[in-house]
């Protein structure tokens, strides 16, 4: 049996109730890490915790928090590090998007998106990075998106938040050089999760063909983290496409992104012939 690379360590995973977050938790447990699972839906977290305990025999704790609330990150830190539950691996996965023209989205939804995708992620990184640095070891994984590489019409705020996550994470890793702590940013493309449902998207045939399983994305993410990478785009074609974008004039990028998105997805509510009630924030990113 191969040596478990995270034995004796504890990982905290936000947005762990489904999708990429749940799958990353499973991969970390397979590597021997104890877990703290964080999301809004207790029943989902408890079911996942039971599954992981049975499969891997590691300690799994559940913390119910809505990280879109301004004081949630500080509460979570106090519930973990503040109570002696040291975190060696922080996975900032919680986030959501809204697929619609910027002016048509209620401001409250924009504000919740920015709070969750950027502010909570940054505050958690700050809190746990300081504790990790004092212990001279640790890893921070922030989940961004290939949307971070281009301005995205109909995803304007979401893509901008992910560009922030990408730039912030790369700078953070550089600053942590020599401290024993590393940061990595994972940029998934389309991934099977609840993201499309929450963002009001319906996949077209082209979009379905490009989707990656959340389990595959999770394995790539953890493997690259343990190899010391700083920035990862999951999937060969996604990586090639993001590399090619650098050769396009920046003025072309919104149009190119809009065309690509139109070939892959459409609004779910438009397909149904009406409007859909938006799910509450806090779902895993894609």
Q: Who contacts 109 (Cβ-Cβ below 8 Å, separation ≥6)?
A: 98, 278, 281
Please tell me the distance from the alpha carbon of residue 260 to that of residue 258, in angstroms, as a whole number.
6
Please tell me the distance from the alpha carbon of residue 285 to that of residue 158, in angstroms, as a whole number.
10
Structure tokens, 62: 């559940």
User: Which one is catalytic: 128, 158, 164, 174?
Assistant: 158
How many helices (H) and strands (E) the chain has is answered by 12, 9
What's residue 282's pLDDT? Answer: 41
Report in angstroms the alpha-carbon separations of 3 from 9, 10, 34, 164.
14, 17, 15, 36
Q: What single string gives the DSSP state of each residue in 128-154? A: HHHHHHHHT-EEEEEE--GGGGS--TT
Residue 111 lies in a domain: yes
- Domain holding 206, by residue range, is 10-272
Please indicate, yes or no, whether the overall pTM of this predicted structure exceeds 0.85.
yes
Residue 235 lies in a domain: yes
Q: Give the Cβ contact number of residue 175 at 10 Å.
A: 12
What's residue 262's pLDDT? Answer: 84
Q: Can you give the CATH number for the domain in which 217 is found? A: 3.40.50.720
Residue 65 lies in a domain: yes
Find out whether 102 and 156 touch, Cβ atoms under 8 Å. Answer: yes
What's residue 277's pLDDT? Answer: 32
Residue 126 lies in a domain: yes
Find out whether 281 and 96 touch, Cβ atoms under 8 Å. Answer: yes
pLDDT one digit per residue (tens) for the chain, 286 residues? 467 999 999 999 999 999 999 999 999 999 999 999 999 999 999 999 999 999 999 999 999 999 999 999 999 999 999 999 999 999 999 999 998 999 999 999 999 999 999 999 999 999 999 999 999 999 999 999 999 999 999 999 999 999 999 999 999 999 999 999 999 999 999 886 666 566 666 666 765 767 789 999 999 999 999 999 999 999 999 999 999 999 999 999 999 999 987 887 667 776 554 433 333 444 444 4
Residue 43 lies in a domain: yes
User: Strand locations in the chain, DSSP E?
Assistant: 10-14, 34-39, 60-64, 89-92, 138-143, 181-187, 201-203, 231-233, 265-267
Residue 142 lies in a domain: yes
Residues in the chain: 286
Residue 283 lies in a domain: no
158 is known as an active-site residue: yes
- Domains: count for the chain: 1
Residue 265 lies in a domain: yes
Structure tokens, 132: 């990790």
């Amino acid at each position: 049996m191969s040596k478990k690379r995270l034995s004796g360590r504890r990982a905290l995973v936000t947005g762990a109730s489904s999708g990429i977050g749940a799958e990353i938790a499973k991969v970390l447990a397979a590597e021997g890490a104890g877990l703290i699972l964080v999301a809004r839906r207790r029943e989902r977290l408890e079911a996942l915790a039971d599954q992981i305990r049975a499969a891997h025999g590691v300690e799994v704790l559940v913390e119910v928090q809505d990280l879109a609330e301004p004081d949630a990150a500080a509460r979570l830190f106090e519930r973990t590090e503040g109570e002696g539950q040291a975190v060696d691996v922080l996975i900032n996965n919680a986030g959501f998007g809204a697929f619609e023209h910027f002016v048509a989205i209620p401001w409250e939804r924009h504000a919740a998106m920015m709070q969750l995708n950027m502010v909570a992620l940054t505050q958690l990184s700050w809190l746990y990075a300081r504790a990790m640095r004092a212990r001279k070891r640790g890893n921070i994984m922030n989940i961004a998106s290939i949307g971070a590489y281009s301005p995205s019409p109909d995803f304007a705020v979401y893509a901008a938040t992910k560009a922030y996550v990408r730039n912030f994470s790369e700078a953070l890793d550089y600053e942590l050089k020599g401290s024993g702590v590393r940061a990595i940013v994972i940029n998934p493309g389309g991934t099977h999760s609840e993201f499309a449902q929450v963002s009001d998207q319906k996949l077209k045939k082209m979009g379905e063909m490009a989707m990656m399983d959340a389990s595959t994305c999770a394995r790539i993410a953890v493997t690259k983290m343990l190899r010391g990478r700083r920035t990862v785009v999951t999937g060969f074609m996604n990586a090639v496409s993001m590399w090619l974008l650098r050769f396009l004039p920046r003025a072309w990028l919104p149009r190119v992104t809009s065309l690509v998105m139109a070939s892959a997805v459409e609004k779910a509510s438009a397909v149904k012939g009406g409007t859909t009630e938006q799910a509450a924030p806090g779902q895993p990113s894609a």
